[in-house]
Structure 1
Amino acid sequence: MSMHVPTRPSWVCAGCGHAWPCLDGRQQLKIEYADARVSLSVYLATNMVEAMTDLPAGSRGDLYWRFLGWL
């Protein structure tokens, strides 16, 4: 099991403390969802919407790039 998972409501990585999905988390997600890119997109979009409710309104503009832009 990956240590690079999000902690709520801060949405930082439990494994390294960087903004989730962190670099290591992204690599692990790519491997886990290697044959299911659409499922990965849905998973990340769902997390992005949840992060929008947890994080301050001022930080929401970057969430698309943080959660989906790297795909």
Structure 2
Amino acid sequence: MTTHGPVLPTWTCGGCGASWPCRTRRQELLAEYAGAPVSLSIYMGSHLVAATQDMSWAPAGALHRRFLGWLR
């Protein structure tokens, strides 16, 4: 279990305080979903939807890049 989970409603990392998903959590997720990129995209897309509700003030493009832009 990771310590780099999201702290809601600010969507900061509980492990390092960076914006979630932080660099460490991204690496963990890539390893966890190795061979299943579509599943990872769906998982992160669901977090994007939740984050847009919590952070309605944030630009949509910035949230998209943050939650989905790093996926390979």
Does TM, scored on the shorter chain, surpass 0.5?
yes
Query: What SS is found at the alignment partner of 2:18?
Result: coil
Instruction: Tell me how many residue pairs correspond in the alignment.
Output: 71
Q: Tell me what 1:28 maps to.
A: 28
Structure 2: 5+ residue runs without aligned partners? none
- When normalised by structure 1's length, the TM-score is 0.93
2:23 alignment partner AA = L
Q: Tell me what 1:17 maps to.
A: 17
Structure 1: 5+ residue runs without aligned partners? none
Q: Tell me what 1:50 maps to.
A: 50
Higher helix share: 1
Tell me how far 1:35 sits from its aligned partner: 1.7
Q: Tell me what 2:7 maps to.
A: 7
1:8-64 Cα offsets, whole Å, 9 max, x none, are 100000000000000000000000000211010000000001000001423433001
- When normalised by structure 2's length, the TM-score is 0.92
1: CA distance, partners of 2:34 / 2:17: 25
1:48 alignment partner AA = L
1: CA distance, partners of 2:19 / 2:2: 15
1: CA distance, partners of 2:59 / 2:12: 13
